[in-house]
Structure 1
């Protein structure tokens, strides 16, 4: 069942890039509305089913929930803006460094990555580079976009690590509603502070915003938040690398754009890297007697 949910989540986030690229609206508006709409849909359900767990949440987990929302806002603000400043290939490759940031954060927190994990992450990132190519332009505008993409990857890594800790105490509904709500508030403040327009868009823009909310936010991020209870942030980050060839394959199916051979080669490398990490985690868990599916306590 978890494998099926992971597949749906990857397909959901894979639709994010093509949909957002077609939305003629400011980056902060796109980021705000997809989170605000998801919050509006989840809040009544969370109020009905998660009120008790939210009201009894300790100060540490409240702080981590708020921090995860702030980091998610940082991820969206940086990532969507980077797509407007640098090439899609460069932005996609650089935001995918989030798996490297997850490993680095875990190392700082005292979790030493195994050789298999490092090897698998390296192979998977190489697969992303094969799909996107190395397309780093030296103009000032593109350099800012590249740096924002890296920042987006770092924020996404922190968001996943915080989510792992909170999901030990909160249900998927409670966590996602609180996280998306915090993210929406941060993005609203950022949009108002920078003068970004949030309304006055044509119907086509609103329909595309609805589509990206359903696919990428509800079926993508929300399912990944659910899987954080049974998968580590490293594995989730590796799954997100499949967004790169996934977007290309979706474009082939729905837009008739035949993907280059590099998409298939890169997909194979990403899957191979993911397999190495999962197999390595199972071997480590077997030797220690732990459950390989459950991430270590935060």
Structure 2
């Protein structure tokens, strides 16, 4: 059953990049609405348990919920902005570097890093340099998009790390509705401060926002939040590697994006390197709640 849920989640998140790249709305608006609608959809399922479970969190648990929601907002703000500047293939490959940041978090805690993991991280980093080098020859806009996506990957690593701790104490629905709600509020405030419109879009844009909410938010991230109870953040990141070729394929079909050959070379290096990182990384105890 978990394998089937993982497949559904990967297919859901793979549609995320192409849908958001094609939506004619600001990045903060897209991110805010997909999280607000996601929280609204999950609220009926969380209403009975969430108040008591969230109130029962200790101080560290409450801090981690807020941290996860804020980092999810940073992730979406950076990544969706990147999708507007560079190709879906490049942006998705860059944001998948979250796994390298997960390893870095482990190292900061004092966890020894095997040499093979460092080799894999170096291989993935080489892929980053290949893609950014190719995009730099195209335009500074594409390079900016690459760097934004990389920052979004760093934020996603912190989001997954904090979420894995919270999920040891509360149910999927309670954690998810709280995290999405916090993310939506943070993005809404950021949009208002920046003077970015949150409404007034064309019908096709609203359809794209609803579609990405259903496919990526409800069938993607929500399932991944559930799987955090039986899988480690590293395993989730390995599953998300499948999003890279999936998103590139969908972008080619529906958006007509055909990045230079060098981007695909870098993409292959990143997937290979991150695969090594996951396979050789020391096992981490999975949440059990």
TM-score above 0.5: yes
Q: Give the equivalent residue in structure 1 for 2:62.
A: 62
Change beyond 3 A, Cα 1:78–1:279: closer
Give matches, 1:223-242, under 5 Å.
Answer: 223-242=223-242
> Post-superposition, which runs of at least 4 consecutive aligned residues in structure 1 deviate over 6 A?
125-133, 252-271
Q: Per-residue displacement from partner, 1:19-60 (whole Å, max 9, x unpaired)? A: 111111111110000000001111221111333222211111
Q: Deviation of residue 257 (structure 1)?
A: 8.5
Q: Deviation of residue 131 (structure 1)?
A: 9.0
Write the distance in 1 (CA, Å) between the matches of 2:269 and 2:17.
21
Q: Give the equivalent residue in structure 1 for 2:174.
A: 174
Write the distance in 2 (CA, Å) between the matches of 1:246 and 1:132.
20
Write the distance in 2 (CA, Å) between the matches of 1:130 and 1:3.
33
Equivalent position to 1:295, from 279, 286, 289: 286
Q: Per-residue displacement from partner, 1:128-157 (whole Å, max 9, x unpaired)? A: 888998423585544443332222111111
Change beyond 3 A, Cα 1:268–1:97: closer
Whether the 8 Å CA contact 1:93–1:129 is kept in 2: the answer is no
Unaligned runs of 5+ in 2: none
Q: Deviation of residue 73 (structure 1)?
A: 0.2
Q: Give the equivalent residue in structure 1 for 2:91.
A: 91
Change beyond 3 A, Cα 1:258–1:80: closer
Write the distance in 2 (CA, Å) between the matches of 1:7 and 1:269.
23
Q: Give the equivalent residue in structure 2 for 1:186.
A: 186
Q: Per-residue displacement from partner, 1:214-273 (whole Å, max 9, x unpaired)? A: 111111111111222222222222322221101133456778989999999888877765
Q: Give the equivalent residue in structure 2 for 1:14.
A: 14
Change beyond 3 A, Cα 1:189–1:37: same
The CA RMSD measured in Å over matched residues stands at: 3.3
Q: Per-residue displacement from partner, 1:62-83 (whole Å, max 9, x unpaired)? A: 0110010000000111111122
Write the distance in 2 (CA, Å) between the matches of 1:202 and 1:166.
38
Whether the 8 Å CA contact 2:73–2:184 is kept in 1: the answer is yes
Q: Give the equivalent residue in structure 2 for 1:198.
A: 198
TM-score with structure 1 length normalisation? 0.82
Whether the 8 Å CA contact 2:229–2:287 is kept in 1: the answer is no
Which range moves more in the overlay, 96-105 or 82-91? 82-91
Change beyond 3 A, Cα 1:195–1:60: same
Q: Give the equivalent residue in structure 1 for 2:33.
A: 33
Whether the 8 Å CA contact 1:124–1:241 is kept in 2: the answer is no
Corresponding position: 1:146 with 2:146 = yes
Whether the 8 Å CA contact 2:241–2:271 is kept in 1: the answer is no
Whether the 8 Å CA contact 2:87–2:259 is kept in 1: the answer is no
Unaligned runs of 5+ in 1: 285-291
Give matches, 1:214-225, under 5 Å.
Answer: 214-225=214-225
Which range moves more in the overlay, 43-52 or 20-29? 43-52
Which range moves more in the overlay, 42-51 or 250-259? 250-259
Q: Deviation of residue 175 (structure 1)?
A: 0.8
Whether the 8 Å CA contact 2:26–2:196 is kept in 1: the answer is yes
